[in-house]
Structure 1
Amino acid sequence: MTPSSQVRQFVFACTCLALFACESMRTPPTDTEILDSYKAYNQRVDRVLAPLLKANTDLCPKTKPDSGARLHRLADYPKRLRPTAKTLFMARDTPSVFYTLPDSPAAKAGLKPGDEVDEAHLNTIGKENIICAYGFKIRFEQDANAYADGANIIVTSGLLRAIDDETLSLVLAHELAHNVRAHAGKPLKDEFEREADRYALYFLARAGLDYQNVAHLHAATHQPHQGRAQLSPSRKNRQAYFKTIIKEIDALITKGRPLNPTKP
């Protein structure tokens, strides 16, 4: 984990918000508030994304073992925040645990924040927990947005403040689909959005998550890649397409057939 650039972005964003009185902030955030928010955002996205990465490995071109422990070092943080990171997170010069995912191999092994550990040990702990080899990054921006870059899912803090975990799961599944289907870096097409929506609902269903109600909520309130997309399906068309895929998945489940998004 290399939180330095993300923390710097957050410091800059919070400073701007304070100066321009955005989000009703009357005073600049303290260093503790900055780092607490940084950790909370990472933990939330990590937790919601985890079952999607775990349940869909057969559809991902690349996989990796995952212990569920996230590491950091003191040098990962800007100099100004290092004293607070050392006190608040027990960050040190050598790699140590930042946090562990609930019920992960690392958590079950008893690893706790502040524990010193090396990558080799984590690989041993997580060798049987195989997940899709995609990560995530948090951008500290006021705009609500999410997009994929081929290797990671980028989510803004503005989006995290605007939606609940149920809707976030669909957003992450949609962006994961863009990565899995190698859409990143290609000219944006409506067919890519439809394919990502299709895979997203299958990803959710395969992970045992709600693929029905959440779809309607997302279709009614959000557009994919808000502020970045040059082309995206209309809300009405997208909601109708969601309903079609939901019926398709329901039928497969009723018949006891595999949930394979590549075979309509």
Structure 2
Amino acid sequence: MANIGFRLAADNAALCDRLQPGLGLLLHTPDQYSIDLRGEAMAYFGFEAPIGVEAVLADSPAAKADIREDDSLVEVGSVTFAAADMQSEANTERLIATDRAVAALPADAPLRIYGVRNGESYVKSVTPVPACRSRFEVAFGSDFTAEADGELVQIGSRFFEEYPEELVAAVVAHELAHNVLRHRERLEDAGVSYGLLSGFGRNVRYFRQTELEADILSVTLLANAGYDPAAAARFWRAFGPEYSGGLLRSRSHPSWKDRLTTIETAVAAREAGKDDMVTALLASRDGELDGDWQSLIVRAD
């Protein structure tokens, strides 16, 4: 997930107006772990400072600066990390706050990182790559969950169990497209209802509009990141017929066959060098949703 997300976010930075420094670091904190296991986790991962490096993506700016897995971090740029509350119940609040603080730093300016490795302090300079501002998470469970809330992209672990990377990337690209187009805040500005009410009344047209917009933009996001843009269509061919009895039958989403045809049309338009639709979608993200999903959809025969 981290590799897919970093690749999509960094290679599409030119399309995003909200950027963060792309470092290639996965961080974790002692307070993520339950109290009864916290001491063991800290010893196992070698925590020597408030924030630990859980992983470093290959060939990332952090890797090139020789930051390593199981290092501990004290500061990143102007962000200083506070010590964990060792008596708190397990939670991710401090990790989320840390990610937000680092994401707010300049996207392409060198950052000084103060860390600790095996009891030795170090200072390293890392030059990040600009990346679309989003966190990427896996939700473990048996459901096909996928959502974006403006700053987070979360994908269910079952996708990784059943589909190859390129098809999972299509799902991640769709959710990232929601964030790039500011769909969550625009839906909230439109006063929509979520949950069971999302498939009724005026809610339907807004949700369908945002789903189709994300489908169309996902083709471009995939292509820019070096994935086959047709992977989005292949995902729906594989997923739609088998699982159309659940999420895909929601009244708030167009039918999977129509979404597939819409995506195939977007792939063909890109191959023909016609990007007017994507340009228009990006230009409209500062404005209100109009609910006009009918002008976006391409119906299946």
TM-score (norm 1): 0.72
Matched, 1:198 2:216: yes
- Cα deviation 1:65-118 (Å, max 9, x = unaligned): 122122223233221332442344223453232111111011111111122332
* Residue matched to 1:111: 67
Paired AA for residue 190 in structure 1: R
The 3-state SS of whatever aligns with 1:232 is coil
Structure ranking higher in helix proportion: 1
Task: Note the C-alpha offset of 1:143.
Answer: 0.7
| Distance change >3 Å, CA 122–CA 232, structure 1 → 2 | farther
Is contact 1:70-1:98 (8 Å) kept?
yes
Structure ranking higher in strand proportion: 2
Task: Note the C-alpha offset of 1:134.
Answer: 0.8
Is contact 1:98-1:114 (8 Å) kept?
yes
What value does the CA root-mean-square deviation take over the aligned residues?
A: 2.8
The 3-state SS of whatever aligns with 2:183 is coil
* Residue matched to 1:235: 256
* Residue matched to 2:27: 71
The 3-state SS of whatever aligns with 1:136 is strand
Unaligned stretches of 5+ in structure 1? 1-44
TM-score (norm 2): 0.64
Paired AA for residue 183 in structure 1: H
Partners of 1:101 and 1:259 lie apart in 2 by: 34
1:219 aligns with one of 236, 241, 249: 236
Equivalent residues, number: 215
The 3-state SS of whatever aligns with 2:278 is coil
* Residue matched to 2:58: 102
Partners of 1:110 and 1:127 lie apart in 2 by: 12
* Residue matched to 1:141: 141
| Distance change >3 Å, CA 75–CA 235, structure 1 → 2 | closer
Partners of 2:152 and 2:42 lie apart in 1 by: 28
The 3-state SS of whatever aligns with 1:70 is strand
* Residue matched to 1:29: none
Is contact 2:137-2:152 (8 Å) kept?
yes
Paired AA for residue 133 in structure 1: R
Partners of 1:227 and 1:242 lie apart in 2 by: 18
- Cα deviation 1:25-47 (Å, max 9, x = unaligned): xxxxxxxxxxxxxxxxxxxx110
